[in-house]
Amino acid sequence: MDLRKNLTDEQGDEQVDIKAGEAAATFPVTPPHVYDSSLSHFMVINIYRNPKDVMYSYFDFSNKLTECQAAATTEEFQELFLEGKAEGSLWFDHIRGWYEHRSHFNIHFVLYEDMNKDLRNSVSKVYKFLGKELNKEAMDDVVRQTTFQNMKYDPLANYENILNSQPEDRRKEDSFLHEDTIGDWKNHMTVEQNERFDKIFQSRMKDFPLSFIWDVNEE
């Protein structure tokens, strides 16, 4: 499945061909004209998530598609993930890169777990960031349309039909989307894996100001 987009600068003089997935995955591969200071009026919404659940969700995703580097076990994939060898480069560089370059953008960070816990409040904050106001009816509609149950039937959010038409891109028969649970990493990680992950996380993310939620019962 080729998820490529052509990005054109404001003058239309230059096209940059990039993988959409790579642009979303890590800050350094974002085309330079996107974070040029003259384009600081761009409004960016960065959705981030606790990296343990990211890793296991990505493990599942990578084993579905032939274009992604698969791993036989979660232990093997964890090493790829922590070393930045999984598709999309290193997660730590991604989140730190966007945060440290936030002055280049008008940027709003959204915690995935907050959306999961209180979607209406997260949507309200996004619209406030965009300088928009919604009446109750419009807000109800947005919240309804952005639930997992609705989005999995939306072809703009779910590539299931594309994959069905391109079976060679599929590594195994499985739904393209699946609903993740906050803290699902606890069902997969061994004590040793968790300790290794925590050690690296504390080293790489020391003094990082954005918060994370690791468990469904955590506030």
pLDDT at 48 > cutoff 80: yes
CA angle 188, 1, 16 (to 5 degrees): 110
pLDDT band at 171 (very low <50, low <70, confident <90, very high): low
Place of tokens 């990005």: 7
Instruction: Look up the pTM and report it.
Output: 0.76
pLDDT bin (cut points 50, 70, 90) of residue 38 is low
How many percent of the chain have pLDDT more than 70?
A: 70
Other CB atoms within 10 A of residue 66 CB: 12
**Residue 51 to residue 94: CA distance in whole angstroms:** 11
Q: Is pLDDT of 31 > 50?
A: no
The more confidently predicted of residues 3 and 189 is 189
Q: What share of the chain is helix, strand, coil (3-state, %, to 5)?
A: 50, 10, 40
The answer to whether residue 183 scores a pLDDT higher than 70 is: yes
pLDDT top residue among 11 and 170:
170
Q: Which residue has the higher pLDDT, 11 or 216?
A: 216
Nearest-angstrom CA–CA distance, 7 and 15: 6
What is the rounded distance in angstroms from the CA atom of residue 145 to the CA atom of residue 70?
A: 32
d(CA 153, CA 196): 38
For residue 157, give the H/E element and its range: none
Alpha helices in 130-181 (DSSP H): 136-145, 148-151, 160-165
**Taking phi first (over 0 means left), then psi (-120 to 50 degrees means alpha), and beta for anything else, what does residue 84 get?**
left
Walk me through the domains of the chain, giving residue ranges and CATH numbers.
Answer: 4-204 (3.40.50.300)
Higher pLDDT, 15 or 60: 60
Mean pLDDT for 193-198 is 96
Which string of DSSP letters, residue by residue, matches 58-106? HHHHHTTBTTS---SSHHHHHHHHHTT-STTS-HHHHHHHHHHTGGGSE
Q: How confident is the model at residue 11 (pLDDT cuts 50, 70, 90)?
A: very low
pLDDT level of residue 169 (50, 70, 90 thresholds): low
> Three-state SS for 109?
strand
8 Å CB contact between 1 and 68: no
